[in-house]
Amino acid sequence: MYSFILRRFIGGLVVVFFVITSTFFMLRLLPGGPFDKEKKLPEEIKLNIEKKYHLDKPLFQQYLLYLSGIIRGDFGPSYKFLHRTATDIIRDVFPVSLRIGFISFIVSLFLGILIGFSSAGSKIFESFFSLVISLPSFVFASVMIIILSLKLGIFPPALIEGWKHYILPVLTLSLGPMIYIAKLTKTSVEKTLKEQFIVFAKSKGVYGYNFFKHVLYPSLSSVFSISGMIFTFLITGSFIVETIFAIPGMGRYFVLSVIDRDYPVVMALTVVFTVVLVIMNVFSEIIYSLFDPRARER
């Protein structure tokens, strides 16, 4: 197990390095720059600004300077949010996205597994799953805001100022993953019920709780194998949800930073996203091996 974790850790470092390198060069090779506005700056002022942020240096030298900054834990100053560094922005917005993402993950995992087990063997839910999973999140969010906030006044429509403010964003964010997990669980349970060891257990007269364990563990292994990816998406991929509900999280800042060509903030958010994804993938593979003995043998 320790050698497995070490190999995954080394592989994760390679992935992070590749993402940093590719994102750095792609951002700078795109047409335009962070200080190209509708009103063109005087050439002297533009040169002074570029010198301040080392944008006047050769591209590869900028890359080496950025790598040395990351090693020291310095992502650089923001070009658009004055007097703030990219690290300051991450420190402010990551806890918000983490709370919403974690709550959404627990809700989607619990309800998804419950719905998936309950609907196993039934064809009724197939159309419902397909309908809900194809529903865009901004449509679902808009309907809930109109009905539950504006019409009934049960929940606040935006911002994060108390526990009630989490309800609508969490419901919106967890809907898609919940249905995906339910569909995956349903398929896994139906497949597991046809396995030879289940037929053998039935022939031995195993029923009740023990039979439930026989079906549960192998069925959930497929769910936990993609749980890391889902968790990462819920934390860092909620761009639309955070924009609709005016939540100051990572997704909202990422969109603003891409539009403004704020290189340090885009890079910092990308690095955080990649690190979380790598860590959760390793964690999900460990959980997967605990639920499926065949994975441990491999």
Q: Give the start-to-end residue ranges of the domains of the chain.
A: 2-297
**Domain 2-297 class, CATH top level:** mainly alpha
Going by C-alpha positions, the residue among 109, 235, 237 that lies closest to residue 184 is 109
Least confident of 6-15, 88-97, 120-129, 279-288: 120-129
pTM of the model: 0.77
pLDDT value at 28 more than 70: yes
Residue 290 has pLDDT above 70, yes or no: no
Instruction: Say if residue 193's pLDDT is above 60.
Output: yes
- Taking only the tens place, the pLDDT of each residue in 83-134 is 888 888 888 888 888 888 889 889 988 888 888 887 776 666 666 677 777 7
